[in-house]
Amino acid sequence: MTIPTGNGAISSAPPRRLRFTHDRWMDALGLPIYSGYYIEDMRGLQLGRWEERGCDAAFIQLEGQQGITETRVSEIPPRAVLPPVRLMFDEVVYVVQGRGATTVWRSGSERKSFEWTENSMFLLPRHHFHQFNNTHGSRPARLLHYNYFPLLLSASPDPEAFISTNRGEAGEPLRQLDLQAMYAEPALKTTSSEEVTWKRGHSVWLGSFFPDMSAWDKLTLNQGRGAGGRSVAMEFPGSEIGSHMSMFPSRTYKKAHRHGPGRAIVIPTGEGYSVMWEEAKDKVVAPWKPGSLITPPNRWFHQHFNVGEKPARYLAFHPPLQFDGHAEKIEDRARDQIEYVDEEPAVRERFEAELARRGLTSLIPPSAYTQRDFEWTPAAV
Ligand SMILES: [Fe+2]
């Protein structure tokens, strides 16, 4: 397998052993399919015409996503209103570029419209129609879509059964949602006893529309991954699609770790790179900035480095929990996370060299490299 260089790695056939119904469906549409380990800038990605959806689009199938999660980019021309589409599965949308509005409804029922801008994140609920509208007069809008459609097609390999562009009444939705409440402000997830729910050390927020992930500020210290980084989890009510965002300070890097496949990571703010590798194999270096997309392959270690002058944020969309791997369990940490004291000196050397090229120096305290239980304090970010 060749190691691609981000943008430009178009492949008509995914570089893999198995082909799934979802692969055949993508091929049949004739849209570009980008493969590899990362996309350096989705804003510059060449797209193809998708007549049925009235827009240009491309699939991004990075290593490890095959048969599990789908990511694709679509572009809405200035002032355009796209045709209504109804999906029988949940889809999360992240706004890579531009601004616009989305209307969500079910047949014969109320409609909910909301406006989005760059770095907005929202859910398109299954069994509901959605319609996109670019509200800008001259700029196209670029959206990143994330869903579990490949898994659905493995269970029931009939693509036409799950996507409808027909306004008709056939196949009435099974769900009765309160769309006004659903797209209201996200809320901190609580248990029935009104206690705050914590998941893997994050606080968890429930919502269907997050207006700006570059400014979302409900993060809490994530001691385990180092660098004084903070994180937060977002869940979409009634959906299994999960996500989390981490923010870590300028001139620091997080500990290497690994887990299961199918995550998609976007960068709301910051500049840096990630190193990804399968144990004892060659490393892939993925540079990132706003507009980048990264997927750590199944059980590959990966490590995120902030070489910019500002805090960096990465936002990860998760596959179903069955694919999560075991990285978050305490007993597996020794196998699935590399502490600073155990890492190869080359990791620190590359980081310091990258900073030096920018006239910067590392802010990782020297004692973090010598004290296994080094305690981070929340960074002033
Ligand atoms: Fe990760």
Distance 261 CA to ligand 1 centre (A): 9
The rounded Å distance from CA 83 to ligand 1 centre is 36
pLDDT over 50 at 1, yes or no? no
302 Cα to the center of ligand 1, angstroms: 7
Q: Using an 8 Å Cβ cutoff, are 96 and 139 in contact?
A: no
User: What is the mean pLDDT of the segment spanning 96-107?
Assistant: 95
* Domain residue extents for the chain: 21-162, 187-369
**What is the distance in A from the centroid of ligand 1 to the CA of 225?**
10
pLDDT tens figures, 165-218: 765 444 555 567 899 999 999 998 865 443 444 455 568 899 999 999 999 888
Contacts of 292 (CB under 8 A, 6+ apart): 38, 39, 40, 41, 42, 266, 267, 286
- Assign a CATH topology to domain 21-162: Jelly Rolls (2.60.120)
- C-alpha 54 to ligand 1 mean position (Å): 35
Nearest 5°: the CA angle 27, 28, 33 is 30
Question: 96 CA distance to ligand 1 centroid (A)?
Answer: 21
pLDDT level of residue 83 (50, 70, 90 thresholds): very high
Architecture of domain 187-369 in CATH?
Sandwich (2.60)
Position 223 scores a pLDDT of 72
What pLDDT, on a 0 to 100 scale, did the predictor assign at position 375? 86
How far away, in angstroms, is 201 Cα from ligand 1 center?
14
The Å distance, Cα 244 to ligand 1 centre, comes to 10
| Cα 327 to ligand 1 centroid, rounded to whole Å | 9
Q: How far apart are the first and last CA of the chain?
A: 40
Rounded to the nearest whole angstrom, what is the distance from the C-alpha of residue 356 to the centroid of ligand 1? Answer: 26
Radius of gyration of the chain (CA): 21
> What percent of the residues of the chain are helix, what percent strand, and what percent coil, each to the nearest 5?
15, 35, 50
What's the CA-to-centroid distance between 72 and ligand 1, angstroms?
Answer: 20
CA 364–ligand 1 middle distance (angstroms): 20
34 alpha carbon to ligand 1 midpoint, in Å? Answer: 21
Residue with tokens 């010598």: 370
Q: Which tens digit of pLDDT belongs to each residue from 129-153? A: 999 999 999 999 999 999 999 999 9
Cα 320 to middle of ligand 1, angstroms: 14
229 pLDDT above the threshold of 60: yes
What pLDDT does residue 175 have? 67
CA of 307 to the centre of ligand 1 (A): 19
Q: How far apart are CA 81 and CA 101, in angstroms?
A: 9
What pLDDT is recorded for position 245?
94
250-278 residue pLDDT tens: 999 999 999 999 999 999 999 999 999 99
* Residues 211, 255, 349, 372, CA torsion sign: positive
pLDDT at 118 over 90: yes
Tell me, what amino acid is at 25? W
Q: Would you say residue 305 has pLDDT above 60?
A: yes
- Which region holds residue 82: left if phi is over 0, alpha if psi is between -120 and 50, else beta? beta
pLDDT band at residue 286, thresholds of 50, 70 and 90? very high
Domains 21-162 and 187-369 share a fold: yes
148 residue type, one letter: Y
Q: What is the mean pLDDT of the chain?
A: 88
Q: How far is CA 100 from CA 45, 71, 82, in A?
A: 20, 20, 11
Alpha helices in the chain (DSSP H): 21-29, 149-155, 179-182, 333-336, 345-357
Ligand 1 centre and the CA of 77: distance in Å?
A: 34
Concatenated DSSP letters for 321-368? GGG--STTSGGGHHHHEE-GGGS-HHHHHHHHHHHHHTT----S-GGG
Distance, CA 162 to ligand 1 centroid (Å)? 30
Of all residues in the chain, the percent with pLDDT exceeding 90 is 72
**Among candidates 293, 299, 251, which has minimal Cα distance to 276?**
299
Q: Is the dihedral of CA 351, 353, 359, 361 positive or negative?
A: positive
Alpha carbon of 268 to ligand 1 centroid (Å): 16
Q: Which of 222, 226, 231, 252 is nearest to 342 (CA)?
A: 226
Query: Which residues partner with 273 through β-bridges?
Result: 287, 305
Kindly state the DSSP code that residue 219 receives in the 8-state scheme.
-
Helix (H, G, I), strand (E, B), or coil: what is residue 107? coil
> Which amino acid is it at 366?
P
Q: What is the pLDDT of residue 320?
A: 93
The pTM assigned to this predicted structure is 0.90
pLDDT digits 0-9 by tens, 27-74:
999 999 999 999 999 999 999 999 999 999 999 999 999 999 999 999
Share of the chain above pLDDT 70, in %: 86
Lowest mean pLDDT, pick from 52-61, 103-112, 301-310: 103-112
Residue 168: is it exposed, middle or buried by C-beta count within 10 angstroms (0-12/13-18/19+)?
A: exposed
Tell me, in angstroms, the distance from the centre of ligand 1 to residue 256's CA: 8
pLDDT digits (tens, 9 = 90+) for 315-372: 999 999 889 876 455 555 568 889 999 999 999 999 999 999 999 999 999 999 999 8
